[in-house]
Amino acid sequence: MTQIDVTKDILVDLYENKTISARGIAEIYNTNHKNILRLLNKFSITRRKNVYSGKNHYNWKGGTRSHGKGYSMIYAPDHPRANKRTKVVMEHVLVMEQHIGRLLQHGEVVHHINEIKNDNRIENLVLLTDSEHKSLHAKNNSDTLRMLAKEQKQTKDAKTGRFIKSCR
């Protein structure tokens, strides 16, 4: 690290009182902004929060975004399944959890009946176990999907939200 000749009082005055950014201070002292950030930490000067993040950001779109594979994602920072970095959860998971009144359990998968990944209407979603979901895609049979959609309307377990196969 380059030696910078600045005291704590000067740094407090520039950063807190005059609200100059770390990059601005770095330009004044002809150094890298990371060196200024290190000094702020060294002197225990509280760093400002980015006021242009989240809802205040110019590019905020209500917390929704599109996943690279076609799924809709929702900003839900407190959700247990939220992505650690982006704080988003797949929308179909949130729709199903709201519908059944609980969080999904380990090994449960929400399947899109019509296989359109951003069609998150509850009529198009079915809760399956991981093994049921894998076998469904292994067969890749549209007749199975249609049958599953018909069963879904008739035999839904109110507690778990799963669609139970009728034993007729």
pLDDT in tens, the chain (168 residues): 567 888 999 999 999 888 888 999 999 999 999 999 999 999 999 888 776 777 777 787 778 888 888 999 999 999 999 999 989 999 999 999 999 999 999 999 999 998 899 999 999 999 999 988 888 887 655 566 566 666 555 455 666 666 555 443
What is the rounded distance in angstroms from the CA atom of residue 51 to the CA atom of residue 70?
31
My answer on whether 36 and 72 are in the same domain is no
My answer on whether 21 and 64 are in the same domain is no
Please report whether residue 48 resides in a domain: no
pLDDT at res. 2: 63
Tokens of 102: 């609980």
Please report whether residue 160 resides in a domain: no
pLDDT at res. 11: 93
Contact between 82 and 89 (Cβ < 8 Å): yes
Q: What residues make up the domain containing 142?
A: 54-154
My answer on whether 80 and 107 are in the same domain is yes
My answer on whether 77 and 123 are in the same domain is yes
pLDDT at res. 137: 80
Per-residue H/E/C for 52-85: CCHHHCCCCCCCEEECCCCCEEEECCCCCCCCCC
Cα–Cα distances (Å) from 98 to 5, 94, 149, in that order, read 57, 6, 20
Q: How far apart are the first and last CA of the chain?
A: 76
Please report whether residue 162 resides in a domain: no
My answer on whether 100 and 35 are in the same domain is no
Please state the domain count of the chain: 2
Burial (CB count <10 Å: 0-12, 13-18, 19+), residue 3? exposed
**Per residue in 5-44, pLDDT tens?**
889 999 999 998 888 889 999 999 999 999 999 999 999 9
Cα–Cα distances (Å) from 128 to 11, 104, 150, 156, in that order, read 58, 10, 15, 12
My answer on whether 59 and 111 are in the same domain is yes
My answer on whether 23 and 92 are in the same domain is no
Q: Is 145 helix (H, G, I), strand (E, B) or coil?
A: helix
My answer on whether 37 and 64 are in the same domain is no
Please report whether residue 105 resides in a domain: yes
pLDDT at res. 168: 37
My answer on whether 38 and 59 are in the same domain is no
pLDDT at res. 107: 94
My answer on whether 148 and 119 are in the same domain is yes
My answer on whether 71 and 141 are in the same domain is yes
My answer on whether 144 and 67 are in the same domain is yes
Please report whether residue 163 resides in a domain: no
